[in-house]
Chains A and B, each alone.
Chain A
Amino acid sequence: MGDAAHIQFDTIPSFLGVPVGDLEDLVPDQIAMVGYFCDNLDRPAAGQRYLARQLRYASQSGKAPANAIDLGDVNVFPLEPDKHFSAVIAQCGAVLETGARMVLVGGDSSGLKALGFAGQKITGANVPVVSVAEGIASNLSDDQPTILRVDLKELAGKWMSQPRRLSGQSPTQMIAQIHATPGCVIAAAVFGLAPALDNRGSTETRAALAILQAVTERLEKGAP
């Protein structure tokens, strides 16, 4: 993308204030951040689809790795599940095929499923999903491709605007788990939060942004 285009697109809200780009801009080891606007297919809860938008609007620049890029949202077809999954798998696959690592932001856990299939398609092997809520799987080697699962529902109720459970992790614990994840993280999904617009919503949004930042840092690191 040329300088003129950069200037034109500077005002578009993007994840962590990173440049906005497209698939052809991607190079190996770049971090592609992608929104996922679908929350009715797996553990559905209306409102989760707005997380990507909320995080883009609340983002400030300078907090993401220098090689991160916002690709916009993947095309979704929430009312046609078969078409939806094949489209999202194909789009995630196209991103991973460039050698970039990607994080899918927002929506429900159906995005993670599609990401898992895409990872399997690209690597030719099953790609284990590592959940930050379930502790660290120590049996993974450093070069094992993995996908990071960051379900924001696992945050403790006191961090949320509309809590659904009392117990859970703090953002700090979640971030520590993200950094301690073994294996070569090739992709991640951050999902499960229907962001609110009240004062508490501001808290949960900031927590989600800090977690997203940690995910991009972990993706940049690849293998620890």
Chain B
Amino acid sequence: MSNAQKRLMIAGYGGLPFGEVSQCEAGNVGVLGVPSEVSNGPRMGASLAPDALRRMTGQLGADLPVNGRDLGNLDLSGDWSDALMQLVTQLVDNDVVPVVLGGASDVALAVLHAIPDLPVVAAMPMARGDVAARQANTIWVGLNGAQPADVWDQISQRKMGWRTARHLDEGHGEFSESPERAVLWIDMSVIDLGHAAGVVGLNPAGMKPETLVAVIGAMLCSWQAIVITGLAPARDTRGMSELAAIETLNAALRDG
């Protein structure tokens, strides 16, 4: 058995040991897989993402730049949304950063419900009304295409920060106001399908993977929670989408 194979069997995401919430110390991360599936649409496969990401970090030997525990996958047989919210609350209360690997967007919504007061940095192609309606302003990264008029009105009236995918790919990645503490939600559909096909949403003219890594890495926020959704690894045989998720997560944790 090769070292890479051994590592796959004994280590969790990014080389972290598997463990319990109680084993996480303040300043650590707690990685949790929530393999929910998108409810409709032709591009399924988000439920495969948590395990695919663990496997890919094992193959690459890509370690996280922080310590912590991989808490395994959440059991989705019951009311998992409530269980996820409780778990996230418990981690945040203990000063542990939850890193939640979805799954579909319902995973991120549960995380945001658990942390209602913090601003959100949302990397996604289409602005969402429920996120825009939160008390603190959201920063939108990588918007692309026609946006819902009512959501756009909110964004404009409340002077939220936003950048389109094109802005960012052309190097205009600076935001005038950046929160000190925030929740980071990366919907992998923010990436152009042509660069990384393993996503649940079709987003032509979306961001390049390396732009996403650079933009998130350059943000000076202290991330209180990070959630990744919309990755459908089986649709990308080369693993570019998983690589984009892993490098973005590493960039966020390294600098934030």
Please report A residues at the B interface, Cβ cutoff 8 Å. Answer: 46, 156-158, 160-167, 198, 200
- B195 in the interface, Cβ–Cβ < 8 Å? yes
Is the beta-carbon distance between B239 and A166 smaller than 8 angstroms?
no
Q: From the candidates B213, B238, B243, B244, name the one contacting A161 in the complex (CB within 8 A).
A: B238
Min distance, Cβ A47 to any Cβ of chain B, angstroms: 12
Q: Does B60 contact A (CB under 8 A)?
A: yes
Listed by A's residue number, 19 A-B pairs whose Cβ atoms lie within 8 Å are A157-B209, A157-B240, A158-B240, A161-B238, A162-B238, A163-B238, A163-B240, A163-B243, A164-B60, A165-B243, A166-B210, A166-B213, A166-B240, A166-B243, A166-B244, A166-B247, A167-B210, A167-B213, A200-B238
| Residue numbers in B under 8 Å from A161 (CB-CB) | 238
Cα-based distance from A198 to B238 in the complex (angstroms): 10
Q: A162 near B239 (CB under 8 angstroms)?
A: yes
The number of chain B residues with a CB under 8 A from chain A is 13
In the assembled complex, which residues on chain B have CB atoms less than 8 Å from the CB atom of A46?
2
Interface residues of B, Cβ cutoff 8 Å to A: 2, 60, 195, 209-210, 213, 237-240, 243-244, 247
A164 to B247, CA, bound (A): 10
CB-defined contacts of A198 to chain B, threshold 8 Å: 237
Contact partners of B195 in chain A: CB under 8 A: 158
The 9 tightest CB contacts between A and B, nearest first, are A166-B210, A166-B209, A167-B210, A166-B247, A163-B243, A164-B60, A163-B240, A166-B243, A157-B243
Task: Give B2's nearest chain A residue, CB to CB.
Answer: A46
- Which chain B residues lie closer than 8 Å to A164 at the CB level? 60, 243
Interface centre among B60, B213, B238, B240 (most CB of A within 10 A): B238
In whole angstroms, how far apart are the Cα atoms of A173 and B247 in the complex? 23
Rounded to whole Å, the gap between the CB of B127 and the closest CB of chain A is 26
Q: Note all chain B residues with C-beta closer than 8 A to A166.
A: 209-210, 213, 240, 243-244, 247
Residue of B nearest to A156 (CB): B210
Q: Which residues of A contact B247 (CB under 8 A)?
A: 165-166
What distance in Å separates the Cβ of A105 from its nearest Cβ neighbour in chain B? 24
A160 contact set on B, CB distance < 8 A: 238
Nearest CB in chain A to that of B210: its residue: A166
Q: What residues on A are CB-neighbors of B60 within 8 Å?
A: 164
